[in-house]
Amino acid sequence: MQMLLRIFKGISPRVVSLSIITLAAIWLSAFLYPQLPGSFQYESSPMPFYGLVKSVIGHSALAGVIFSLIVLSLLGTFLVVFNTKVVFISERTLLPAAIYILITGLFPQHQVLNPVLPAGVFLMLAIMRIMEAYRKPGTAFNFFDAGLLISIGSLFYCNLIWFALLVFIGIALLRPVNIVEIAVSFIGILTPYFILAGIFYVAGKDISALFTDMRINLFGQIQDYHFGLLTTAVLIFTGVLALISLSYLLTRINAQKIKSRKTFYLLLWTFFISIGMYICLPSVSVEIAWITGIPASYILAYYFIFSGKKLINEILFTVFYLLILLIQAVYIL
């Protein structure tokens, strides 16, 4: 167990096997005791694409868990692919995906069918698309694509629309401000809703119902989540670990290559927007952890890979790993 972090930092088949075992252990409770989603507003007033998923899956709690696990595996793959393409963490590693898997174990009650995971996939694709605009000559329609992807994701989880801010932050980070790119970004964000409104009109459906559901999802009061003692302790430990990793990154970020630095800035904005949503919006609860975990996994991975305190890092990672498994064990028992 002392070598756990060293194993996860690599790219060998052993890492893949251990990641699959970890994923199975963390999601074991979801398969042993599959549950239907709780009474959240995104369940009672689902956005259209999530409503379509719910209608296909029906009332099968197990089918919902399987769907979420498939989407989680896809998101974990994108986490690795993004770093492989941009190389902002200057090592090939599967560690971000492993950390994200661990983060998904913080709240076993939310290991059910939910709209945030598929929305997270579209957010990840949008971030990747934004960074592809780096040093791209002429008008970059990447920002149109990114706005489009985030907007599509919001048709699963409406609060994802707040991350449309990343498109304009990306423009400011990567290029001289271009009014055309700002305009096409707005068009990309609005396009799925214009198309959906047209479909509603042709099908004779009530378009006002769509906007009512949006209002409920964006500004309604979500039910309170009661943190148990163990969960609170693990969250405190995770928060301290995140602060240590964030501080380490900020002290070294200016030494990164330009593209790597700008990638981390975009991820930091993603992290802070998600935290701000949890603090400020009554419609956002712990489900946002599925999205916060995306930038957090990179921040933690950067610290664990490059911090010179190898023994301390091994201990911290191992404790984090075991605490997540403990949460699952207590939940099962």
Per DSSP, helices labelled H in 45-178 are 48-57, 61-86, 95-103, 116-131, 142-154, 165-174
Between 309 and 25, the higher pLDDT residue: 25
Tokens read off for 71:
């989407």
DSSP state of 222: P
Q: Is the pLDDT score of 4 beyond 70?
A: yes
pLDDT band at 1 (very low <50, low <70, confident <90, very high): very low
246: Cβ–Cβ under 8 A, 6 or more apart, which residues? 299
| Amino acid at position 15, single letter | V
Average pLDDT for 52-81:
94
- pLDDT for the residue numbered 66: 96
**CB-CB neighbours of 84 under 10 Å:** 12
Average pLDDT for 103-115:
92
pLDDT band at 314 (very low <50, low <70, confident <90, very high): very high
pTM of the model: 0.94
Between 258 and 176, the higher pLDDT residue: 258
User: pLDDT by residue (tens digit) across 67-77?
Assistant: 999 999 999 99
Average pLDDT for 233-243:
96
Q: Which of 79-83, 174-178, 222-226, 227-231 has the lowest mean pLDDT?
A: 222-226
**CB-CB neighbours of 16 under 10 Å:** 14
Percent of the chain whose pLDDT exceeds 90: 76
pLDDT band at 319 (very low <50, low <70, confident <90, very high): very high
Per DSSP, helices labelled H in the chain are 4-8, 13-26, 28-32, 41-44, 48-57, 61-86, 95-103, 116-131, 142-154, 165-174, 179-203, 207-219, 229-252, 258-280, 289-306, 310-332
Q: Is the pLDDT score of 29 beyond 60?
A: yes
Please give the C-alpha separations between residue 54 and each of 57, 115, 161, 197, 199, in angstroms, as whole numbers.
5, 10, 21, 21, 19
- pLDDT for the residue numbered 91: 84
User: pLDDT by residue (tens digit) across 268-291?
Assistant: 999 999 999 999 999 999 999 999
Cα(321)–Cα(8) distance, integer angstroms? 11
The rounded Cα 232 to chain-centroid distance in angstroms is 21
- pLDDT for the residue numbered 152: 98
User: pLDDT by residue (tens digit) across 173-224?
Assistant: 998 888 999 999 999 999 999 999 999 889 888 888 888 999 999 999 887 7
Q: Which of 131, 231, 144 has its CA nearest to residue 183? A: 144
- pLDDT for the residue numbered 2: 46
- pLDDT for the residue numbered 299: 97
Q: Which of 179, 165, 156, 93 has its CA nearest to residue 130? A: 165
